[in-house]
Amino acid sequence: ARKMAKRNIEAFEQLGELDAIVADCAACSGFLKEYAQVLHGEVEWAVRADRFSAKVKDVTEWLDQIMPQDIGTTIAGSKSITYHEPCHLANVQGVRRQPRALLARLKNNGADVRELADATRCCGSAGIYNLTHAKMSKELLDRKMADIAATGAQTVISANPGCLLQLQWGARRTGLDVKVKHLTQVLVESLAERED
């Protein structure tokens, strides 16, 4: 991990002074923010790692800062949405407000945003948990899919690829007719409709 962290820091330093380093994967942005902790004991790397980690933002944090409040009135191909909070975003990074602020923009502009019961409860993906603890992972996923079904939403959105894959598998496994999308996909669709 330290070796890869150093390589990443060097690669980004070569780009010059950056305002932010943005990742659209909650697990990735979470670990990139931890580079300062990973390298804190190495004198030649500690300051560089601190500087790097301080610039890392999850895409939801970045978009909340730069996106206008009026982002469109509808969501392409979907009339109702619900949101599953990724563990790596909500629990590891403490990023809860920003994704919900983006959802509020959609809702304020006409989207039907439905609250998911216990939205922060794990979907069972959790990195490779779904591989190392398959039985428990399926139980978590089944409960999550039941909660999603209870909303009646046509689309479930999240902000982490691992969660998205797990939720897609859950939809296929349970036969639930729900689309699974990254929050950024829904925002792009809304902006595209605004331009039409």
Q: Pick the range with the lowest mean pLDDT from 153-162, 170-179, 184-193.
A: 184-193
What are the pLDDT digits (tens) for 32-73? 999 999 999 999 999 999 999 999 999 999 999 998 777 755
158 half-sphere exposure, CB direction, 13 A CA radius? 29
CA distances from 45 to 23, 33, 74, 129 (A): 22, 15, 47, 31
> How many whole angstroms separate alpha carbon 60 and alpha carbon 22?
9
Mean pLDDT value of segment 136-165? 94
* CA atoms 46, 47, 50, 53: torsion sign: negative
Instruction: Answer whether 84's CB lies under 8 Å from 168's CB.
Output: no
The phi-psi region of residue 87 (left if phi > 0; otherwise alpha if psi is between -120 and 50; otherwise beta) is alpha
